[in-house]
Amino acid sequence: MCLKRQYALVAEKKEIPLDGPWKYKKGAPMAALPMQTFFQFKPTGVYNAMLAPLHNCTIKGILWYQGESNAGAPERYVQLFEALVSSWRHAWGEPELPFLFVQLPNFAAETWEFGSKFGWAEFRDAQQRGLSIPNTAMAVTIDLGEANDLHPQNKKGVGERLALLARRLIFGEDIVATGPVFSGLKRCGGALEVSFETGGTLVAAGEELVGFEVCGADRKFYPAEADVAEDRVIVRSCSVEVPCGVRYAWANNPEANLYNDSGLPAAPFRAEVE
């Protein structure tokens, strides 16, 4: 094997060149090492090692970043999350202990053979239902991930959004801490009017608002044109004459650009006309 670039080892002010042909010979055979025990893969291993020792400490709240391991079973997650919050509050003796959590970011899960086309979207929906638990808040990170990296690089952005939630929920500051959240849906002729709790003015981060889809009674979704109108978004599609439902950012790695004027993104959602 020949190295194309010049490299050298430097030891005691002497250079040993590494370019040119390399010679090698087999070393001594070695038997396979026995299987190690990784405590983090054992039931309660991480909890007993890292959290249980803190039960006697006074804390102001909990920050929870949910990994992707549960994304394959979104239908079970709501119950699991409720049990998690309840058990941790019981452990610290604080039935209303603030619990702030992070919704899964964007990621092209299907390209990594991890989940279906909508697996992460369905899981994000299950996470959002966790907001029905009192004294909780969710940081939306649908714009902070990368399609090809399971672990997003932008940790600072995640931390900043959690900090906003903590300042509002835990420390009582009167600040905008979340982006637009879906609050209502009604049909207006051939269009749908989607209402939001905005925390400010709705903004499209780009020339056109993207990420919305509508469906008719057949529940087949089509990309929709979307326009901001104060605290609402009007969506329509020429492929759907009588729209019955809408969804936003409903994909593992969606194109979505609805924000409020504080720079916080709208949470993904789906809804139907009642």
Mean pLDDT of 39-49: 87
The mean predicted confidence, pLDDT, of the chain is 91
Query: How far apart are alpha carbons 268 and 103 in whole angstroms?
Result: 10
pLDDT at 208: 94
**pLDDT tens profile 52-71:** 999 999 999 999 998 888 88
pLDDT at 232: 94
- Whole-structure pTM value: 0.83
Of residues 224 and 114, the one with the higher pLDDT is 224
**pLDDT tens profile 115-133:** 677 899 999 999 999 999 9
C-alpha atoms less than 13 angstroms from C-alpha of 95 in its C-beta half-sphere? 0
Percent of all residues in the chain with a pLDDT value above 70, rounded to a whole number: 96
Question: Per-residue pLDDT for 20 more than 90?
Answer: no
pLDDT at 111: 65
**CB of 126 closer than 8 Å to CB of 75:** yes
pLDDT at 248: 98
The one-character DSSP state at 87 is H
pLDDT at 68: 84
Of residues 207 and 65, the one with the higher pLDDT is 65
Question: Per-residue pLDDT for 35 more than 90?
Answer: no
Strand partners, 102: 65, 139
Per-residue exposure over 220-259, b if at least 16 CB sit within 10 Å of its own CB, e if not: ebeebebeeeebbbbbbbeebeebbbbbbbbbbbbebbbb
Q: Where along the chain do its domains lie?
A: 70-169, 181-272
The pLDDT-based confidence of 6 (bands split at 50, 70, 90) is low
